Amino acid sequence: MQPNNNEKNEVAKETQGEKTDLILAVGSEPDTGFDPTTGWGRYGSPLFQSTLLKRDNDLNIVNDVATDYEISDNGLTWKVELRKDVVFTDGEPLTSEDVKYTFETARDGGSVLDLSVVEKVEVEGDFTVTFTLKEPRSTFIQSLITTGIVPKHAHGDGYAENPIGSGPFQFVQWDKGQQLIIEKNQNYYEEQPYFEKITFLFLGEDAAFARAQAGEVDMAYIPAAFSNQQVPGMRLESVQTVDNRGVQFPYVKSGQTTEEGYPIGNDVTADPAIRKAINIAVDRDALVEGVLEGHGTPAYTSVDGLPWWNPETVIEDGNMEAASELLEKAGWIKGDNGILQKDGLKAEFTLLYSASDVTRQSLAIAFADMMKPLGISILVDGKSWDEIEKMMYSNAVLFGWGSQDPLEMYNLYSSKNAGVEYFNTGFYQNSKVDAYMDLALTATDQSEANEYWKKAQWDGSTGLSAKGDAPWAWLVNVNHLYLVDDQLDIGDQRIHPHGHGWPVTDNLVEWKWK
């Protein structure tokens, strides 16, 4: 019997002394396992499952299982054609019935995946599936990018702990609390991954760093505090992200309460001059250098660098003189202890942050210190999220966001989401911004949608960015840091989203041993 190509490649690698196995410590253990219908794969590759579409290294949308898709003129019908050569690891073919089952299960299961916009899913033969939406939604395409397809015939109780899929890797073993072992899928329909076997270790940052120092892992996710420590045989990879940190201000004046009785609004931050002056005065580069050890970028929106980002939102910051002039024109004058006052109101407010997050604590303290020379007193206060939930409508909060789905921007700024979960806690509202975002949602072309998202940020006269209403002071995008074996090539990393899951695995099929 002649060896196949995969066997030949394996022999060649071993002959050359190259590694075919990897050991990685790149993130925490998924709490609910590896079922895409409950959220697995939203941050990084689903590994075991294929998706209909995917993003390339430039974040362009390209086909995966889909060969083509078509959107109706009214934006309600999405027709997707499928490849005919995709099989699950148990040998069964992937068909339109599996796609229908996956999306209906995810929609009806009450998971973190919001597919409530899907009215119905229909199949036409084995390789055509049609989604009918309740209303036009351009961001539905993100669901086609992130939702891994599960097999209808093999999905049920226990699937999350022993998944079957058609992706580039197949599940081997999950030792809960310790490790996950995967192998490459020999029946994968596209280029085979280089590595035969990959072990994911579930370690905290300290333990992962210690394993890297001991030479026991090929890659480890580390915090900025460890970034200056050299590890022989390993290099530091600092990956650009939209994993941002920013301050959301109460946008309205005080006097209202939520249905639960929590106070809404803050008379100081409701003044646009305060919000804009803070945005102008804060030195974002100094925060990157001082708090993030240089491993990050200044943040001006929640979508910096993504296809729907408007570069015109970038402002000249660290300008205390311009900020002071703006406040003086708005009627703020120096009072007791150098704190500004206006009509008897002191320029002082509380900034809440998660007490368990050292980086957010450092950012909050540095941010508050920067505002003291301006005459704005910010009282930083670390709380649990349970406590923050009761106080976040009337106090500024240091939040972290960042997604490759523009719907997150809608959630953060739409007046329809005022007071909904952790989104628009400041009760921001701008009818023109709402209108732009509604047009973006109902667009049937992604390029057209992107232009409306950009106008929502800044259209030359108004917008949700610091140049416009400034309901946020975005501070930094936190780079994701990895110690990587000098011989391991992890390809071109895409801009990472917020640091849940394993975003670094999004291009795992491209990784190679040098």
| Residue 169 neighbours by CB under 8 Å, 6+ apart | 47, 48, 182, 183, 184, 185, 193, 198, 508
Environment class of residue 129 by beta-carbon count within 10 Å: exposed (0-12), middle (13-18) or buried (19+)? buried
Token representation of residue 8? 């030949």
Overall average pLDDT of the 35-55 stretch:
92
- What was the pLDDT predicted at 2? 41
Overall average pLDDT of the 343-372 stretch:
97
Token representation of residue 341? 């006052």
In angstroms, the CA 429 to CA 453 distance is 16
- What was the pLDDT predicted at 57? 87
| Dihedral of alpha carbons 56, 58, 59, 63, sign | negative
Alpha helices by DSSP H, listed for 313-470, are 320-329, 358-371, 385-391, 407-413, 431-442, 446-457
In angstroms, the CA 376 to CA 369 distance is 9
Amino acid letter, 180: L
Chain position carrying tokens 């990472």: 496
DSSP letter, residue 441: H
Chain position carrying tokens 């008379």: 267
Contact 406, 440 (CB under 8 A): yes
- What was the pLDDT predicted at 31? 86
Token representation of residue 224? 């900025």
| Residue 261 neighbours by CB under 8 Å, 6+ apart | none
Of 9-18, 276-285, 370-379, the one with minimum mean pLDDT is: 9-18
| Dihedral of alpha carbons 89, 91, 95, 99, sign | negative
pLDDT in tens, 239-269: 999 999 999 999 999 999 999 999 999 999 9
Q: Which domains occur in the chain, in start order? A: 1-29+176-239+480-514 (3.40.190.10), 42-153 (3.40.190.10), 244-478 (3.10.105.10)
pLDDT in tens, 12-23: 444 445 799 999
Token representation of residue 466? 């610091």
- What was the pLDDT predicted at 458? 98
Full DSSP string of 226-256: GTTS--TTEEEEEE-B--EEEEEPP-S-S-E
Residue 205: φ, ψ to 5°: -60, -40
The mean pLDDT value of the chain amounts to: 94
